[in-house]
Structure 1
Amino acid sequence: MSAGRPGAGRTDTAALPVAFVPEIPGSKSITNRAALLAAAAAGTTRLLRPLVSEDTLAFREALVDLGARVTAGPRDEYWEITGLGGAPAGRARVWCADAGTAARFLLPFCAAGEGRFLLDGTAQLRARPLRPLADALTSLGATVRTAPGAALPLQMDAAGLHGGEVDLDGSLSSQFLSGLLMAAPLARAPLTIRTRSLVSRPYADMTLALMRHFGADAEETSPGTIEARPGGYAASRLAIEPDASSASYFFAAAVIAGRTVTVPGLGRESLQGDLRFVEVLRRAGARVETTGEATTVTGTGHVRGGFAVDMGEISDTFMTLAAIAPLADAPITIHGVGHARLKESDRVAAVARNLRACGVDTEEGPDRLTVHPGRPVAARIACHRDHRIAMAFSVLGLRVRGALTLDDPDCVGKTFPGFHEELSRFRTRYGIPVGGGGTHRAVHHP
């Protein structure tokens, strides 16, 4: 591709070879939800192709600490989880590591049981909020003692959840609602949850779909009000979809490299809201095809800008768009992502600072980011131990003049341990050099 203005140099996609098919790991969101539901169920569940990463392994170990039995198949091709037939009982210390889903899902699970449970995690996880969930569980009968700021470490004295009605603030994270929902069928009486200002709504829809797969009786009776009835869960069998958030990096790479990427297993019936990211890429000029079996994105090497998009419901992918936005032909504004400031890092601020380090004019507000066209230059990317920052800027590295350097390349192990190898395979397939000449430059690791 020739040098020139951002996005210059179109590629004749009709002459391209067959699509690149990246090996996308299983969905973290589905893996951890399904693992918890299997641990609560009576009987043995088989999860096919679960994600094997730092977050999911921490979650799996926590379930073992709470009494579930987990057997992994060869090369972790499947997990068999023999459940408790309900909530945990007794005493347990639970290490959540960096996994926000572990803290937010296991806390209600423990509250539905009986005994004393101590939950803790890394300094990064201790900085993430828990107050809305702790307050809701207290109102339902649990005794919760948190560290200052309503954070981990946390002690839970549980005697079961009595059901009834509860209001939940969903403006900080949808994980609070998902955690409470999954515990609701374990309560002694029907539980009605009223949530307001819910962010990332598709994750709550995913949770409800998986609960029903495992036999729960739960429904949204009116907008923002969900009722779950007692009855628990039954063991099942579930094939885990490829992770749509992880796939976003390769879909974006296709756009800026003028290539085609296909991800089998991510089709029209996907449970994952983040697959809607491809519709954002369509606005940016990509050709998108979604069938019942797969999603394919074809780029031209040109990124069309000049639009604003609300990514509040798919906020795990806003960084992917922000990272390729400097290559667009006009500014791109992303809004609705204020809650992303409370993730593994303040993602809005971190993305803005890293783009500026690359010489890109970037403006930020409380819940928005505007990225102007530019010619990104070599820089050292501050990952803040955040896997999604590392992966998003690795994609930008395909088109940077010079080399981007990640200060923590290994942080991708949180959700996608093989990411760098897959991106290298994409780069090799299409002759995109590492630190060589031309406009394509890849990320270097220290």
Structure 2
Amino acid sequence: MTTAEVPAPALLARIPGSKSLTNRAVLLAAAARGTSRVRAPLVSDDTIAFRDALTACGTRVRSSPLAEYWEVTGTGRGPTGRARLWCADAGTAARFLPPYAATGHGTFLFNGSSQLRARPQGPLLEALRGLGADIETGPGDGLPLLVRADGLTGGRLVVDSSLSSQYLSGLLMAAPLMANGLTVRPEALVSSPYVAMTVALMRRFGATVEERPDGGLRVEPGGYTPADPVVEPDASTASYVFAAAAVTGRTVTVPGLAAGSLQGDLRFVEVLEKAGARVSVTADATSVTGTGRLRGGFDVDMGEISDTFMTLAAIAPLADAPITVHGIGHARLKESDRIAAVARNLRACGIDTEQGRDRITVRPGEPRPARIACHRDHRIAMAFSVLGLARPGTVTLDDPHCVAKTFPGFHEEMRRLFPAYELPDTAGRAADGDR
């Protein structure tokens, strides 16, 4: 082997903790009787909003000096008293905390940004009302939302889960605090790996959850016991560095994101493997190596890992044949209409793109310079940043700072890994104006 043939060493990516795991673990710790430590939590806009909302409910959360862990002291029951909870842009706060509040006693007012107020809540509120909760809502059954709580007895439910799995997860996590527990069956469930994540964490905190033959779940009453979970690196966030490896021909390794992960979005590396990358998933880490060629000519259902479809779509123009992603209709109801937003941005780059109700097809093409409309959506900003790395000078983000929702140091980490990455202008940040 000549010197020129010596492979470049693997790049070790520093990916922050999973938002989904952090917020679930902090809520379960708040519901447990005693003190838990949530280790390696994500510290970002969404998790801080979630933590602060719990604090407003009376939960004590103490951060270690360097945020290596959050110490959460729970009461073993739902919250009491009166509280105003600001959810900012955090969908998990708006979907997980109202069921928890309803198991307590008091009055709890939830509100959030205009972006969050536009996101649907109907199936969750219908389920809570079916359990006897007293809820008053804003226009269209969304935020602002007032919960007049007097405990929940529990019972049986069928939950419309076609728009989001978060409705089901929120109800499940509240179920051990209900007097009789809960038997629930999801209808048209999307993003099922997130429900599996919820159930695994509930069991870690001592809950009894039984899977039923009809696809439903039975949660016994009895509350939670403290635990000290370690939060894995965020698999959705890791998708951007893995995609960057695929388009640059480098090897990127994420330590701690490994076989046995609770996160379904780790399956994104299987999609990259389909596109020609080499993938290794071990007991300690996951690595992706680009081969110098991005292969297209396939269809893939990403319904269960829809947070990563934008990562694939953003690099799909660099493939040698069209790529179609389907099963992602519910992604139209996230921080933005993600299918439409991705299609418009790709067309602005001169890429031939076609969209349907639950799909998007991206054809090969050489991107031209364009200003990417992020729609205050962190995943759009991070996905198109990978395209900008592969084709320097073609991508400008209209809101590079929206990445703070889940990865405040995203741009700096990309530059550390890939010196050719062009840091966006970091001067100033658009004010929300919605609080």
Using the size of structure 1 for normalisation, the TM-score is 0.93
Q: Is 2:314 the partner of 1:311?
A: no
Matches of 1:401 and 1:267, distance apart in 2? 31
Partner-residue secondary structure (3-state), 1:296: strand
Cα distance in structure 2, aligned partners of 1:186 and 1:330: 52
Report the Cα distance in structure 1 between the residues aligned to 2:4 and 2:80, rounded to whole angstroms.
Answer: 59
Is 1:396 the counterpart of 2:361? The answer is no
Please say if residues 367 and 394 of structure 2, whose CA atoms lie closer than 8 Å, have aligned partners that are also in contact. Answer: no
Cα distance in 1 for partners of 2:327, 2:161 equals 14
Matched, 1:221 2:212: yes
Query: 1:296 and 2:284 equivalent?
Result: no
Counterpart of 2:358 in structure 1 is 367
The one-letter code matched in structure 2 to 1:284 is A
Indicate yes or no: 2:246 matched with 1:246: no
Counterpart of 1:352 in structure 2 is: 343
- Relative to structure 1, is the Cα distance of residues 394 and 444 closer, same or farther in structure 2, using a 3 angstrom cutoff? farther
Q: Is the 8 A contact 1:170 1:176 kept in 2?
A: yes
In the alignment, is residue 270 of structure 1 matched against residue 251 of structure 2?
A: no
- Assess if the C-alpha contact under 8 Å between 1:96 and 1:102 holds in 2: yes
Identity of aligned pairs, percent?
A: 65
AA matched with 1:109: Y
The answer (yes or no) to whether the contact 2:36–2:73 under 8 Å persists in 1 is: yes
Partner of 1:385 in structure 2? 376
SS in 1 for 2:245: helix
Q: How does 1:44-59 map to 2 (within 5 A)?
A: 44-59=35-50
Aligned letter for 1:154?
Answer: L
Q: CA RMSD in A?
A: 1.4
Aligned to 1:339: 330
Matched, 1:230 2:221: yes
Match of 2:165 among 150, 154, 174: 174
Separation of aligned partners in 2, 1:365 and 1:433: 33
Aligned equivalents of 2:4, 2:145: Cα separation in 1: 54
Structure 1: which 4+ aligned runs deviate by more than 4 Å? 442-446
Q: What is the distance in 2 between the residues matched to 1:390 and 1:107?
A: 30
User: Aligned equivalents of 2:371 and 2:179: distance in 1?
Assistant: 54
| Residue aligning to 1:280 | 271
Q: Which amino acid aligns with 2:65?
A: P
Aligned equivalents of 1:146, 1:104: Cα separation in 2: 14
Deviations 1:81-114 (A, max 9, x none): 0012111111111110100000000010001111
Report the counterpart of residue 197 of structure 2 in structure 1.
206
* Contact 1:260 1:297 (C-alpha < 8 Å) held by counterparts: yes
Aligned partners of 1:394 and 1:443 also within 8 Å: no
Report what 2:109 is aligned to.
Answer: 118
2:208, 2:219 within 8 Å by CA — same for their partners in 1?
Answer: yes
Which of 72, 82, 102 matches 1:81?
Answer: 72
Give the Cα separation in 2 of the matches to 1:339 and 1:148. Answer: 21
Secondary structure in structure 2 of the residue aligned to 1:43: strand
Q: 1:49-106: CA deviations, max 9, x gaps? A: 1000000000000111111101100121110000121111111111101000000000
Any conservation in 1 of the 2:415–2:421 contact (CA below 8 Å)?
no
**Mean CA deviation greater in 363-372 or 215-224:** 215-224
Deviations 1:338-378 (A, max 9, x none): 00000000000000000000010000000000000000111
Q: Deviations over 1:273-295 (max 9, x none)?
A: 00000000000001001001100
1:34 paired residue number: 25
Equivalent residue for 1:328, pick from 319, 322, 340: 319
Q: Do structure 1's residue 183 and structure 2's residue 183 form an aligned pair?
A: no
| Structure 1 position 151 matched with structure 2 position 155 | no
TM-superposed CA distance for 1:16, in Å, is 2.2
Secondary structure of the equivalent of 1:209?
A: helix
Tell me which amino acid in the other structure corresponds to 1:257. Answer: T
In the TM superposition, what are the counterparts of 1:387-426 in structure 2 within 5 Å?
Answer: 387-400=378-391, 402-426=393-417
SS at match of 1:334: strand
Instruction: Compute the TM-score of the two structures, normalised by the length of structure 2.
Output: 0.96
Structure 2, unmatched stretches of 5+, are 428-435
Deviation at 1:399, TM superposition (A): 2.1
Q: Which string of whole-angstrom CA distances, capped at 9 and with x for unpartnered residues, describes residues 379-417 of structure 1?
A: 000000000000000000012263311000000000000
CA shift, 1:141, in A, is 1.2
SS at match of 1:98: coil
Equivalent AA in structure 2 for residue 367 of structure 1: D
Instruction: Measure the CA separation in 2 of the matches of 1:211 and 1:106.
Output: 15
In the aligned structure 1, how far is the partner of 2:116 from the partner of 2:105?
25
Give ranges in structure 1 of 5+ residues lacking alignment.
Answer: 1-11, 435-441
Determine the structure 1 residue equivalent to 2:433: none
